[in-house]
Structure 1
Amino acid sequence: MASDRKGILSKAKKQLERQSEKLRQKLGHKDDADDVYADMVANFNRQQANDAYDEARKSFEFIDRECHEALPSLYDQRIPFYSATLESHCNTTAIFYGACQSALEQLQLFCSHILSPDTSNEASSTPASANRNAIAAETAAVELPRNALELRVVTHNYEATGDDELNLTRGDQVVVLPFPDPEDAEDEGWLFGRLGECEGMFPENHTQKIDSAA
């Protein structure tokens, strides 16, 4: 029992010693902190701190003033840019929709012609019929010789390059005759005919045959 009591007392003593050591360490740290604080207070320069504060305040006021002066100009520059961009977009959109409307109208016209073929055929055949009738009337006024092969109307002007050629004027009617010299008939693309009182060769692709049946 005595030995147990001594062990308990020894253990409690060691714990008290450790706690006392920790307390002394804390008190020592506190003393060090107090010394540092006292040193800072002793060396504190109030005027220097006030000067630093004033300098910082002036810098802030300068930056604030510069920002307030710059923001309106930036704002004013953006407004025309946004306005011009919006106007350009609107113009482009209007042009696009105008082109779409034109294409739609052409498509509707095309579809209407497809859906009504009889009307379109009548409309397209009317000018051709009138043209054939006019040509037939003019043909009746032209006296064809017995040896005439056909009658052709001039579709393109042609200026003769030799004495054996005819000058052609659009709308003239040429009576096609046999070649006086059979060897000349071998010239492909050329015909021989009479225009008024003149006879000579002329290019076939500058004329069009008049259908006598018209």
Structure 2
Amino acid sequence: MAKVLQKHAGRAKERILQNLGKADRTTDEDFDLCVKNFNKQQAAVLRLQKEFKNYHQCLKAMQASQKSLMDTVCELYEPCWIGVDRFLVKAEDLNKSFDDFCEKINNQVLNPVAAYTVQFPEYSNKISKRNRKLLDYDNSRHNLQNLETMRKREEAKISKAKEQLEDARSHFEVINTELHDELPALYDSRVSFFVSYLQCLYLAEAQWHGQASELLIDINSILESLDEDSKKDPCYKLKNMVKESQAHEQEKDCEDSKSPPHTPLFSPEKECDGSSSGSASGSAVFSTPPTTADRNLRPNMTSDTKAVEVLVEEDKLAGGDTLQAHSRFLYKVKGTYKYVAEDLDELSFNVGDIIDVISYDDPDEQEEGWLMGVFEGKKGLFPANFTSRI
């Protein structure tokens, strides 16, 4: 411990004397230039490593964003649309291509650059050690000079100082020689460092852009085919899509006789694919009527509340027979399933409720699969197949 403290004290004393100009310092301009180049190279490499990391993080964020976007697009691409299988495959290939690109940047750029930067702290420690050995050498040299200039020469101390100087010189020269060889070689490697890792980055990105470009062109062609097909095929229209969906639900409902039908079947009409829907009552062919949302696409039907009030009032005055005798009365129906109105111009009723069916105010506004009726003093529309005629 005493020897170590003595060495630190000698270095501190020598450093102070050199800073005050009372002791000369051993200089090496070539080595100083090597250290200057080393510091500049270290700063450049660390800065580039930081940008590589930031670039990779941005790629990962973009990768997550693209995957989320493609997942959403795939969910919105309806199963009945043309090219759905090809679209899903291309979207998955695009996500995989981005995954491979990010993995390649990590393996071929980030990891090698991190391994390259590890040597800089080691060389920094070695340079610091060389400077300490130089202080020891200068301190030993000055001690010998002081002993040799004293009036009373002490040969024993002079001999010991010479041994210390020789020992300090040998330690210094070993590490100094190593750094004189290693620092220039490290500095010269900067060219191959920039070339190799930047080439890995740009080639990987070019390959990814090429793959992504081909996949995006294929996806664009699928979308063009979808656009052309939607203009030719009426199945893409809302009315036909609703009918197809309702027919599918009706098929499910038929499997379970306990559950009521989701949508009524009333008037004969062909489905959008050209085939007929299910048949009932002999050879009659039926299809689903428009839903409430479909009816809202047409001109809104105004509810003639005053006419209803007049009909109900006349019915009350005549003991309940006037409405049936009215010219607009057609027949009565009985609720076979419960129905809850989805719009203001519809009727709600339960199983067993009796509804008076009347004619439409305007025959052109008549909806397929829907009847106009009066129930509990209110006039409105209701699905025909939720009732049975009596």
TM-score for the superposition, normalised by structure 2: 0.19
> Highest CA radius of gyration, 1 or 2?
1
Q: Which has the higher strand share?
A: 1
TM-score for the superposition, normalised by structure 1: 0.32
